Amino acid sequence: MNISLDQYKLFYFVGKHLNFSLAAQDLCITQSAVSQGIKTLEKQSGCLLFHRTTKQVSFTKEGSLLYAHIAQAYQIIDDGESILQELTHRKAQELSIAASDTLCRHVLLPYLQEWHNRYPHIHLKITNRPSAACVNLVLHGNVQIGLVNLYPELQENNKLTIRPLRTVHDCFVGGPHFTGLANSPQPLAAILNFPLLLLEQGAISRQYFNRFISPSTRQPDIELGSLDVMMDLVKINLGLSFVPREYIRSDLIAGNCIEIPLQKPIPARDIGWITSNQYPSRQSLRLLLTLITADPI
């Protein structure tokens, strides 16, 4: 019969109210347009769908039968729209962040605390991955923002907006048994003769070690996936490690480990926030960026 969905929609609202004027109000069209539309539908279907008098509108037998099916279909569509609106609203009220375990614990926590104080009603989703994986999550729109180590290749990616946060300084540390090494700056070659505890290859600090300290010439004696576990092993004197000074400051102050100075300083590196230029920013992201800009914790 080649009847359009718009015609069925018109029929549904007339049947819902059994009133042409109220149907016109719901559809934001004129009453004459509703009347003409129903006449066209009746002509195409070959059935009289409504009895019309000056006082009321009622279904014919055929109209009542059709309405039972159209109303059911319309309810399914309406339910689908409601689910979509709910999902869209929930996403708008969600903030998703990607950060490595180390950055999450040693840098992100104060921001999360401040965020919760200001916006406890906005759902927070945090994904822990190495920095390179966090970058991919941001690029593909899986998270709204990432807190990552800013390795050089990121600066060349025009799909990202980069907001540097702070500079970190890598250093060599050891447990109390290595205190003698802290008395004077040590040559790098001497440090590399001791047992080494390093993070696994995917970690940015490991890549930094490979690039600036010992490219492919010194393999670790112990390789780990967690900075905190690695520091536990350092404290019991299993070897020396290469870590950002800022993340172990409390252990250095407490004397749980000691920093070993080098004759040639290690270049500093940066960490920062990254967002994608390819996806529209939600309100939750804009609120976080305002917090970051106004209060760099």
Q: Tokens standing for 29?
A: 């069209």
Q: What's the pLDDT at 296?
A: 60
- Tell me the fold of 93-167+270-294: D-Maltodextrin-Binding Protein; domain 2 (3.40.190)
Q: What's the pLDDT at 282?
A: 79
- The pLDDT profile of the chain, 297 residues, written as one tens digit per residue, is 678 888 888 999 999 899 999 999 988 999 999 999 999 999 999 989 999 988 889 999 999 999 888 888 887 887 677 556 655 555 557 899 999 989 999 999 999 999 989 888 888 899 998 888 999 999 998 999 999 999 878 878 889 999 999 999 999 999 999 999 999 999 988 998 999 999 988 788 888 888 877 665 678 999 998 899 999 999 999 999 999 999 999 999 999 999 999 998 888 999 999 999 988 777 888 889 888 887 666
> Do 93-167+270-294 and 170-267 fold alike per CATH?
yes
pTM of the predicted model as reported, rounded to 2 decimal places: 0.65
Q: What's the pLDDT at 247?
A: 94
Q: What's the pLDDT at 280?
A: 76
Q: At residue 80, what is the residue type?
A: G
List the chain domain ranges.
5-85, 93-167+270-294, 170-267
* DSSP of the chain: ----HHHHHHHHHHHHHT-HHHHHHHHTS-HHHHHHHHHHHHHHHTS--EEE-SS-EEE-HHHHHHHHHHHHHHHHHHHHHHHHHHHHHHHHTEEEEEE-HHHIIIIIHHHHHHHHHH-TTSEEEEEE--HHHHHHHHHTTSSSEEEEE--GGGGG-TTEEEEEEEEE-EEEEE-GGGGGGGGS-B-HHHHTTS-EEEE-TTSHHHHHIIIII-TTT---SEEES-HHHHHHHHHTTS-EEEEEGGGSHHHHHHTSSEEE-BSSPPPPEEEEEEEESSSPPPHHHHHHHHHHHH---
CATH of 5-85, one of 3.40.50.880, 1.10.10.10, 3.40.50.1100, 3.40.830.10: 1.10.10.10
Q: What's the pLDDT at 153?
A: 80
As assigned by CATH, the class of the 170-267 domain is: alpha beta
Q: What's the pLDDT at 257?
A: 95
Q: What's the pLDDT at 216?
A: 56
